[in-house]
């Protein structure tokens, strides 16, 4: 597809990199010539210098023939204007990043009038991700499929765990539950485990199961942690605003530490929670607010370094669950190496959402994509698709008779609302929802799963 990305910041660069690897023709638009040149040369894409809302700039970028325009500048208003202008010029689909909470209701009302195909809100996406982690504190990362009924949980096998030295089949026998170990990351090597794969201490594991089974599994292996009832949050920005909105619905009490008085006042007026006007990097303040006793500690300040430092302090206090916001993804491996495994990033949440939408435009009519999740440091993808029609050579045939690619695993089949962890005798049928785990190239057609 011909895709225009307006905004060469970190988010725009991540999106360009992901879409370029998927063989799309990318044109990047930005007013900063130096950043534009560096990014376009690095990714081998076309760069157009100018204002993305300018008609002349959009024409130069090819908006009259573009399949999609994605506006991800730092200004919500500019993103909306870019999309509206591009649509008038002939761009088929448009996506705008809109972050300001004050615009949420407005965008719901005006998306159709403005011809916006999709609006994305990185801070809201991350807040939802954190909310899921709080529901399942025993997992370092949790994603959901099929309306929240199927969970994808990542966790690390600890030294002395009952899982050490066992194959997936032996684990099934031990716990007596229906689940599937989808993928394993071991010393920077990624695996879709076969039946004889033996788990070791230090392995990062991703498993999928019905949401009720997930809790039972972690109880069975002795790694269960009680649901979160109260949280301590450092940082009172937009992400905290969205998170507090979700926590209120979950009846989780929150304490927020924020050094900016205006932010404190705004949060206090909006939410029924404790707001502390203080510097959250001070150990004395964290100690006084109960960092060692809280069910979960969440670092959401504007600075990655501050988030890492306060999270490490919380870890030293044996805090039950720690979630850390890291915007610069170059730091992620470093911080995971010192034990901060529940890391969230708005940039990758945005990228994943846009890639899912782009894939949905490229998919054949036989299937439609419902959700897409990046797993295990982006080594794997979980693709939730619905099979719209009978597909010759794929549907109605037992899985054991299909020659499925080695880098693809069929993790879950939902047939007539029944969630199935598939065996060789199960089949995919028209109307089924299927969750695929992929390690290699992405798929645009259900037939792409075959060798």
Distance CA 232, CA 298 (A): 6
Q: For position 352, what pLDDT does the model report?
A: 81
Q: For position 427, what pLDDT does the model report?
A: 95
The angle subtended at Cα 110 by Cα 104 and Cα 115, nearest 5°, is: 120
Q: For position 289, what pLDDT does the model report?
A: 95
Q: For position 360, what pLDDT does the model report?
A: 83
What is 126-220's CATH number? 3.30.70.1450
Q: For position 165, what pLDDT does the model report?
A: 95
Report the Cα–Cα distance between both ends of the chain, in Å, rounded.
25
Q: Side by side, which strands form the sheet with 189-191?
A: 141-145, 150-156, 204-210, 180-186, 189-191
Whether the CB-CB separation of 242 and 124 falls below 8 Å is answered with yes
Distance CA 253, CA 290 (A): 13
- Give the residue among 275, 285, 277 at the shortest CA–CA distance from 310: 285
Token pair for 226: 């009680």
In this structure, the chain runs to a length of: 451
Phi and psi (nearest 5°) for 373?
Answer: -130, 135
Strands (E), 137-252: 141-145, 150-156, 180-186, 189-191, 204-210, 230-234
What is 348-449's CATH number? 3.30.70.1450
**Other CB atoms within 10 Å distance of the CB of residue 214:** 23
Whether the CB-CB separation of 325 and 307 falls below 8 Å is answered with yes
CATH 3.30.70.1450 boundaries in the chain: 126-220, 348-449
CATH 3.40.50.720 boundaries in the chain: 2-120, 230-344
Q: For position 414, what pLDDT does the model report?
A: 95
**256: left (phi > 0), else alpha (psi -120 to 50), else beta?**
beta
Q: For position 113, what pLDDT does the model report?
A: 64
Q: For position 11, what pLDDT does the model report?
A: 87
Q: For position 351, what pLDDT does the model report?
A: 81
Token pair for 367: 């299937």
Q: For position 104, what pLDDT does the model report?
A: 67
Positions of the chain with pLDDT lower than 50, given as ranges: none
Distance CA 436, CA 439 (A): 10
Question: Angle 168-175/211-220 helices, nearest 10 degrees?
Answer: 90
**Chosen CATH of 2-120 out of 3.10.20.30, 3.60.15.10, 1.10.357.10, 3.40.50.720:** 3.40.50.720
Distance CA 44, CA 46 (A): 7
Q: For position 354, what pLDDT does the model report?
A: 87
Q: Is 284 exposed, middle or buried (0-12, 13-18, 19+ CB in 10 A)?
A: exposed
Q: For position 318, what pLDDT does the model report?
A: 92
- For residue 109, give every residue at least 6 positions away whose Cβ sits within 8 Å of its Cβ, in sequence order, or none: none
Distance CA 188, CA 451 (A): 26
Q: For position 449, what pLDDT does the model report?
A: 92
Question: Using one digit for the tens of pLDDT, what is the confidence trace for 418-439?
Answer: 999 998 999 999 999 999 999 9
The angle subtended at Cα 54 by Cα 80 and Cα 27, nearest 5°, is: 85
Question: Using one digit for the tens of pLDDT, what is the confidence trace for 91-134?
Answer: 999 999 988 877 766 766 666 666 677 888 889 999 999 999 99
Alpha helices in 260-319 (DSSP H): 261-270, 283-288, 304-316
Which of 137-174 are b and which e, b meaning 16 or more Cβ less than 10 Å from the residue's Cβ?
bbbbbbbbbbeeebbbbbbbbeeebebeebbbeebbee
Q: For position 294, what pLDDT does the model report?
A: 96
Q: For position 314, what pLDDT does the model report?
A: 95
The angle subtended at Cα 406 by Cα 401 and Cα 410, nearest 5°, is: 65
- Give the residue among 221, 316, 302, 222 at the shortest CA–CA distance from 260: 302
Q: For position 108, what pLDDT does the model report?
A: 66
Distance CA 381, CA 439 (A): 7
Q: For position 227, what pLDDT does the model report?
A: 85
**Chosen CATH of 230-344 out of 3.40.50.720, 1.10.443.10, 3.50.50.60, 3.40.50.2300:** 3.40.50.720
Residue with tokens 């010539």: 33
State how far the alpha carbon of 417 is from the alpha carbons of 194, 218, 412, 421, in Å. 28, 25, 12, 13
Q: For position 109, what pLDDT does the model report?
A: 66
Which of 69-78 are b and which e, b meaning 16 or more Cβ less than 10 Å from the residue's Cβ?
bbbbbeebeb
Token pair for 313: 């302090």
């Amino acid at each position: 597809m011909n895709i225009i990305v307006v905004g060469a910041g970190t988010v725009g660069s991540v999106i360009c990199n992901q879409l370029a690897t998927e063989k799309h023709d990318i044109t990047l638009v930005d007013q900063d010539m130096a950043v534009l040149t560096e990014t376009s040369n690095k990714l081998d894409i076309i760069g157009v210098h100018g204002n993305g809302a300018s008609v002349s700039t959009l024409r130069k970028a090819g908006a009259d023939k573009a399949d999609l325009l994605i506006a991800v500048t730092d200004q919500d208003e500019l993103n909306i204007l870019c999309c509206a202008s591009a649509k008038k010029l002939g761009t088929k689909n448009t996506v705008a990043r809109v972050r300001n909470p004050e615009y949420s209701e407005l965008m719901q009302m005006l998306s159709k009038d403005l011809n916006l195909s999709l609006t994305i809100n990185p801070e809201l996406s991350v807040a939802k991700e954190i909310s899921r982690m709080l529901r399942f504190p025993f997992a370092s990362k949790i994603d959901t499929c099929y309306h929240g009924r199927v969970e994808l949980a990542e966790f690390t096998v600890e030294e002395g765990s009952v899982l050490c030295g066992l194959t997936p089949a032996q684990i099934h026998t031990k716990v007596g539950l229906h689940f599937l170990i989808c993928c394993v990351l071991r010393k920077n090597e990624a695996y879709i485990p076969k039946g004889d794969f033996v788990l070791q201490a230090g392995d990062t594991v991703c498993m999928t199961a019905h949401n009720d089974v997930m809790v039972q599994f972690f109880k069975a292996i002795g790694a269960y942690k009680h649901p979160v009832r109260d949280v301590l949050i450092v940082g009172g920005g937009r992400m905290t605003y969205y998170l507090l909105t979700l926590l209120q619905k979950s009846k989780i009490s929150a304490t927020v530490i924020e050094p900016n008085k205006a932010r404190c006042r705004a949060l206090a007026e909006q939410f029924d929670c404790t707001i502390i006007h203080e510097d959250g990097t001070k150990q004395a303040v964290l100690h006084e607010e109960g960092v060692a006793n809280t069910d979960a500690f969440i670092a959401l300040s504007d600075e990655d370094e501050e988030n890492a430092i306060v999270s490490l302090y919380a870890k030293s206090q044996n805090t039950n669950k720690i979630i850390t916001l890291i915007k610069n993804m170059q730091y992620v491996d470093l911080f995971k190496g010192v034990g901060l495994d529940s890391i969230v990033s708005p940039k990758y949440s945005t990228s994943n959402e846009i890639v899912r939408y782009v894939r949905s435009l490229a998919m054949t009519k036989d299937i439609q994509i419902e959700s897409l999740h990046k797993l295990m440091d982006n080594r794997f993808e979980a693709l939730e698709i619905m099979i719209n029609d009978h597909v010759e050579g794929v549907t109605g045939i037992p899985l054991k008779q299909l020659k499925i690619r080695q880098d693809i695993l069929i993790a879950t089949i939902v047939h007539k609302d029944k969630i199935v962890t598939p065996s060789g005798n199960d089949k995919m049928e028209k109307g089924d929802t299927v969750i695929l785990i992929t390690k290699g190239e992405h798929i645009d057609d259900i037939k792409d799963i075959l060798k």
